[in-house]
């Protein structure tokens, strides 16, 4: 699913498109994309829930928010989670243009534009929230929030591989497979190292590397149309992810690949030694 950088770029796009605008119409093309609670299983919503969605009509979009991989929008007094699932994205078209492919929900705005939530794989959803604080429910701190090494280390316990642990959203929200691998490369920490084995210095390196990696990715995707997904054949901007056998951009050693927690993991055997530093 999209990681923190993709969600943050979409938040910025929605903020520019919608905040300060009034919603003049709501179109629900796929009712199962509206859900009473967060989940990836399509369920036919109740009539009351669909009425609540239609109740956004006439409301002003006041704010956007993000925590980890979750995206929220405030319409009037109410907050909504826009869960991207595996393939969720947004398109802005004039109200005279037809709905785009895979459009699920559309919001017509008072500037003549319609913002569409599109989702090819249907895992995404529009979910009502009690408040903006509900975006944080069940999650650790946002991975862009400043943490020192000691505070970061305190979030993790046990003997899990550090790469697997960093992807646990209840410990730290926002990292997925790609950016966990890239942050570990920046910090020179091997992904298979046990959490309990990391030194104070290594946690400090990680605390600095994680937000630096995420900020760099956000900058690379500063334009919505500039999203880079390796599987889409776009320009490859990663240091190690998806680069098995290619030279490490820092030392030239061939990048290695293994599987941790059921996910492909990439690292540089020389820059990220198994015994640590």
Q: What is the CATH number of the domain that holds 72?
A: 3.20.190.10
Name the pLDDT band for 147 (thresholds 50, 70, 90).
very high
Average pLDDT, the chain: 93
Nearest residue to 160 (alpha-carbon basis) of 195, 118, 135, 126: 195
| 138 φ/ψ sector (left φ>0, alpha ψ -120 to 50, else beta) | left
Helix (H, G, I), strand (E, B) or coil at 259: strand
The whole-number pLDDT of residue 276 equals 67
- pLDDT tens readout for residues 37-87: 987 777 899 999 999 999 999 999 999 999 999 999 999 999 999 999 989
Local structure of residue 98 (DSSP, 8 states)? P
> Residue 256 in contact with residue 268, Cβ under 8 Å?
yes
Domain containing residue 164: CATH number: 1.10.8.50
Rounded CA gap, 179 and 213, in Å?
7
**In the predicted model, is pLDDT for residue 227 greater than 80?**
no
The whole-number pLDDT of residue 223 equals 52
Determine whether 163 is an active site residue. no
Residue 160 and residue 181 share a domain: yes
The arithmetic mean of pLDDT across residues 265-272, rounded, is 97
- pLDDT tens readout for residues 97-132: 999 999 999 999 999 999 999 999 999 999 999 999
- Segments forming the whole domain that contains residue 167: 149-267
Residue 209 dihedral angles phi and psi, to the nearest 5°: -75, -35
CB atoms within 10 A of CB 132: 15
Rounded CA gap, 199 and 186, in Å?
16
Determine whether 2 is an active site residue. yes
Active-site option among 3, 6, 182, 208? 3
Active-site option among 52, 263, 270, 273? 263
Rounded CA gap, 32 and 263, in Å?
29
Active-site option among 11, 35, 66, 69? 69
Residues 6+ apart with CB under 8 A from 144: 4, 8, 174, 211, 214, 215
Active-site option among 2, 5, 191, 211? 2
The answer as to whether 276 is a domain residue is no
The whole-number pLDDT of residue 236 equals 57
Residue 130 and residue 154 share a domain: no
The arithmetic mean of pLDDT across residues 240-248, rounded, is 96
Which residue, of 136, 163, 178, is where some domain finishes?
136
Residues 6+ apart with CB under 8 A from 182: 213, 217, 238, 239, 240, 241
Residue 154 and residue 50 share a domain: no
Rounded CA gap, 216 and 222, in Å?
10
**What is the tally of structural domains in the chain?**
2
Determine whether 160 is an active site residue. no
Alpha-carbon distances of 192 from 165, 167, 195, 205, rounded to whole Å: 10, 13, 9, 16
**In the predicted model, is pLDDT for residue 228 greater than 90?**
no
> Residue 32 in contact with residue 45, Cβ under 8 Å?
yes
Residue 126 and residue 164 share a domain: no
Which pTM value belongs to this model? 0.92
């Amino acid at each position: 699913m999209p990681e923190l950088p993709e969600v943050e770029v979409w938040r910025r796009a929605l903020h520019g498109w919608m905040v300060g605008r009034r919603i003049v119409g709501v179109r629900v093309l796929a009712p199962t994309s509206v859900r009473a609670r967060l989940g990836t299983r399509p369920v036919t919503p109740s009539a009351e829930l669909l009425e609540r969605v239609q109740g956004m009509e006439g409301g002003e979009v006041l704010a956007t928010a993000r925590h980890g991989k979750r995206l929220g929008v405030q319409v009037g007094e109410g907050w909504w989670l826009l869960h991207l699932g595996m393939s969720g994205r947004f398109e802005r078209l004039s109200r005279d243009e037809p709905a785009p492919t895979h459009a699920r929900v559309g919001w017509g705005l008072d500037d003549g534009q319609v913002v569409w939530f599109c989702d090819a794989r249907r895992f995404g959803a529009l979910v009502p929230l009690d408040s903006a604080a509900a975006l944080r429910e069940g999650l650790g701190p946002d991975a862009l929030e400043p943490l020192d090494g000691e505070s970061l280390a305190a979030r993790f316990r046990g003997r899990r591989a550090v790469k697997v642990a960093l992807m646990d959203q209840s410990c730290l929200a926002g990292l997925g497979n790609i950016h966990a691998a890239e942050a570990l490369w920046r910090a020179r920490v091997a992904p298979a190292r046990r959490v309990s084995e990391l030194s104070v210095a290594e946690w400090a390196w990680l605390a600095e590397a994680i937000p630096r990696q995420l900020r760099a990715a956000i900058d690379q995707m500063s334009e919505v149309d500039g999203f880079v997904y390796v599987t889409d054949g776009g320009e490859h901007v990663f240091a190690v992810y998806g680069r098995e056998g290619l030279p490490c951009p820092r030392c030239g050693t061939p990048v290695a690949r293994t599987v941790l927690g059921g996910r492909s993991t990439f690292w540089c055997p020389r820059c990220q030694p198994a015994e640590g530093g």
